[in-house]
């Protein structure tokens, strides 16, 4: 089967190739975030800058990567994915090359901003393109694309570490920056815009989840209460999970188990190292898994289960985490029940507000990640105020529990009402007919 939209006919496997190329692009930009930690100590050793000052660059990267995605998504919706990913790849490469020459904090911060803009362009485009090409499997497609973001770091973390050790961190920045930028640039040539009539074509299978009747523009969704409900839920789950997981190192140290050897199925590692390794794996697997589940049983039901599991997992980690084996297993559970937000929320947004502006709309929702990251330092404040991690775990668990209940009792009825609304043109027509009738 094939589908067209004023363009040459495409085979039914073409969209899977689009998805694969998006995953490759995501894997190439993953180290800008996940590989950063490898460079902090070498940079500090070379220039004597404090680690806190160096980590400001990471904060700049996250904020520029997150908050500019709506603009980049708008460009994707208007001009297609190719030029945006192409530009993003160039910026990612330039950012890391600048890092290799950065001999001042100002240049390091500028390079972080350049990298963040580039990474956001690639991330937002690839997720948005997946949502458009797979109206029938949005959860799975968005999940696989987001999983590529973690898989990339898993594939290249060892060679980057080896190059830093053998040739210095500047060589690693330079050569991996060029490599990653070139791969993304080349992949961009093969990315194409999804046909606007794809959801109605024979090329896609039966859609199990309800789809909205209207393609909302970004300016329109900002006026819809259901968007802000999703935004608040996204912030709560992201912040709640981050508050518990971003402090794993200090928590393991306070529990006095960080260096305790743990043996699981014959693999022996220190508890904290084991937990961080499981994090990388499960944080990637959960995105396509729960995305696929949501394609089968619905978005809100999946959210209810996943967010509820996260709430229970955080409490269990606090209660039983002093045991090294329990710490490793429960950490894996927490990450598995948390990472799916990057597949569930984009697919829910596209289901609700349509495919035409899916990249920009998902980008607006994605800024919730940046908002959540600003709340994470509260975990340190709570710990300092109370003298223990108790309040942090309670707050994280409660935020996830509230989000789980909101998914079923607030978001579900609101989305149902939203997607059953007539299109704005139909509303205007009906309003005009009523006014005409009232004057006759």
- The mean pLDDT of the chain is 86
Q: CA 368, CA 192: separation in Å to the nearest integer?
A: 28
Segment 354-358 mean pLDDT: 91
Contact between residue 420 and residue 352 where contact means Cβ atoms under 8 Å apart: no
Q: What is the arithmetic mean of pLDDT over 202-231?
A: 84
**What is d(CA 424, CA 427) in angstroms, rounded to the nearest whole number?**
5
Could you give the angle at the alpha carbon of 164 between the alpha carbons of 275 and 104, nearest 5°?
A: 105
* H helices present in 102-224, as ranges: 105-133, 138-167, 169-188, 218-221
Residue 26 included in any domain: yes
Domain end among 141, 162, 195: 195
Clarify whether residues 184 and 331 are in a common domain: no
**Parent domain of 271:** 218-421
| Judgement on whether residues 174 and 233 belong to the same structural domain of the protein | no
Give the count of beta carbons closer than 10 Å to the beta carbon of residue 363: 31
Q: Bigger pLDDT: 267 or 247?
A: 267
- Using DSSP bridges, classify how beta strands 261-264 and 10-11 pair: parallel, antiparallel or unpaired: unpaired
Bridge partners (DSSP) of residue 3 are: 10
Residue 434 covered by a domain: no
The pLDDT tens digits of the residues spanning 337-354 come to: 888 999 999 999 999 999
User: What whole-number distance in Å separates Cα of residue 428 and Cα of residue 371?
Assistant: 36
What is the number of domains present in the chain?
2
Whether the CB-CB separation of 219 and 306 falls below 8 Å is answered with no
Asked whether residue 97 is assigned to any structural domain, the reply reads yes
Distance from chain centroid for Cα 400:
17
- Same domain? 180 vs 269: no
In a domain, 427, yes or no: no
Same structural domain, 191 and 250: no
Q: Is there a single domain that holds both residue 138 and residue 223?
A: no
In this structure, are 144 and 227 located in the same domain?
Answer: no
pLDDT, residue 432, reads: 45
pLDDT score for 183: 96
* Strand, coil or helix: 2: strand
> Does some domain include residue 396?
yes
> What would the mean pLDDT of 179-183 be, rounded to a whole number?
95
Taking CB atoms within 8 Å and a gap of at least 24, the contacts of 232-235 are: 232/406, 233/303, 233/345, 233/403, 233/406, 233/407, 233/411, 234/341, 234/345, 234/365, 234/368, 234/369, 234/372, 235/368, 235/371, 235/372, 235/375
User: Is 207 inside any structural domain?
Assistant: no
User: Which residues are paired to 261 by β-bridges?
Assistant: 270
- pLDDT tens digits, one per residue of 93-140: 999 999 999 999 999 999 999 999 999 999 999 999 999 999 989 999
The DSSP code sequence of 202-213 is TTS----S---S
Q: What is the DSSP string of 384-425?
A: HHHSSSHHHHHHHHHHHHHHHHHIIIIIHHHHHHHHTSPPHH
Tens-place pLDDT, residues 146-170: 998 877 777 777 788 889 989 999 9
Percent of the chain with pLDDT over 90: 52
pLDDT at position 438 over 50:
no
pLDDT at 439: 42
Q: Convert the pLDDT of each residue in 312-346 to its tens digit.
A: 999 998 889 889 999 889 988 988 888 899 999 99
Asked whether residue 233 is domain-assigned, the answer is yes
Does the residue 416 lie in any domain? yes
pLDDT number for residue 246: 65
pLDDT of residue 23: 95
Q: Which two tokens stand for residue 286?
A: 């959960």
Q: Do 223 and 160 fall into the same domain?
A: no
Cα 108 to the center of its chain, rounded Å:
24
Question: How far is Cα 109 from Cα 57, in angstroms, rounded to an integer?
Answer: 5
**178 and 326 share one domain:** no
**CA diameter of the chain:** 86
The mean pLDDT of 32-59, rounded to a whole number, is: 86
Confidence of residue 436 (pLDDT cuts 50, 70, 90): very low
pLDDT value of residue 206: 64
Q: Are residues 137 and 251 in the same domain?
A: no
Averaged pLDDT, 398-414: 96
Half-sphere exposure of residue 253: CA atoms within 13 angstroms, side-chain side: 4
Q: Do 142 and 260 share a domain, yes or no?
A: no
Average pLDDT over residues 195-222: 77
Residues 172, 260 within the same domain: no
What confidence tier does 199 reach under pLDDT thresholds 50, 70, 90? low
Helix (H) or strand (E) holding 11: strand 10-11
Query: What does residue 264 show for φ and ψ, rounded to 5 degrees?
Result: -125, 115
Residue 19 has pLDDT above 60, yes or no: yes
Indicate the pTM of the whole model.
Answer: 0.84
Q: Of 180, 195, 210, which residue constitutes the final position of a domain?
A: 195
Integer angstrom CA distances of residue 241 from 285, 311, 395, 423:
17, 9, 10, 37
pLDDT band at 423 (very low <50, low <70, confident <90, very high): low
Coil, helix or strand at residue 310: helix
Q: Which CATH number characterizes residue 291's domain?
A: 1.20.1250.20
User: Are residues 184 and 229 both part of a single domain?
Assistant: no
What are the structure tokens assigned to 93, written together? 């490469």
Pairing assessment for the beta strands 2-3 and 10-11 based on DSSP bridges: antiparallel
256: pLDDT confidence band, cut at 50, 70 and 90? confident
């Amino acid at each position: 089967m094939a589908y067209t939209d004023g363009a040459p006919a495409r085979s039914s496997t073409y969209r899977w190739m689009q998805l694969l190329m998006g995953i490759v692009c995501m894997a190439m930009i993953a180290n800008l975030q996940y590989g950063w930690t490898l460079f902090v100590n070498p940079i500090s050793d070379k220039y004597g800058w404090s680690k806190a000052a160096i980590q400001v660059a990471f904060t700049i990267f996250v904020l520029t990567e997150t908050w500019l995605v709506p603009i980049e998504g708008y460009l994707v919706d208007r001009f297609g994915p190719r030029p945006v990913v192409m530009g993003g790849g160039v910026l990612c490469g330039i950012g890391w090359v600048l890092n290799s020459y950065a001999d001042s904090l100002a240049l390091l911060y500028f390079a972080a901003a350049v990298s963040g803009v580039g990474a956001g362009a690639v991330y937002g485009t690839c997720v948005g393109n997946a949502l458009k090409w797979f109206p029938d499997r949005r959860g799975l497609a968005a999940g696989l694309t987001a999983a590529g973001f973690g898989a990339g770091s898993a594939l290249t973390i060892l060679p980057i570490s080896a190059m830093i050790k053998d040739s210095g961190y500047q060589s690693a920045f330079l050569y991996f920056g060029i490599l990653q930028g070139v791969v993304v640039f080349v992949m961009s040539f093969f990315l194409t815009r999804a046909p606007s009539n794809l959801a109605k074509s024979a090329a896609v299978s039966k859609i199990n989840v309800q789809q909205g009747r209207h393609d909302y523009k970004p300016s329109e969704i900002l006026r819809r209460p259901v968007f802000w409900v999703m935004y608040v839920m996204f912030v709560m789950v992201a912040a709640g999970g981050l508050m518990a997981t971003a402090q794993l190192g200090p928590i393991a140290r306070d529990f006095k188990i960080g260096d305790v050897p743990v043996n699981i199925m014959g693999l022996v590692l220190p508890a904290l190292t084991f937990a961080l390794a499981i994090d990388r794996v499960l944080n990637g697997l959960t995105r396509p898994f729960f995305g696929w589940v949501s394609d089968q049983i619905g978005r809100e039901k999946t959210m209810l289960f996943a967010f509820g599991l996260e709430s229970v997992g955080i409490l269990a980690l606090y209660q039983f985490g002093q045991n090294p084996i329990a710490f490793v297993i429960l950490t894996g559970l927490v990450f598995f029940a948390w990472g799916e937000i990057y597949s569930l929320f984009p697919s829910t947004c596209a289901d609700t507000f349509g495919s035409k502006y899916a990249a920009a709309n998902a980008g607006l929702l994605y800024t919730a990640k940046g908002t959540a990251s600003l709340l994470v330092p509260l975990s340190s404040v709570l710990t300092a105020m109370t003298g223990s991690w108790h309040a942090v775990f309670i707050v994280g668990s409660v935020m996830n529990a509230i989000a789980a209940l909101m998914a079923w009792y607030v978001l579900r009825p609101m989305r149902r009402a939203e997607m059953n609304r007539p299109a704005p043109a139909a509303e205007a027509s009906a309003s005009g007919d009523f006014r005409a009738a009232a004057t006759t």
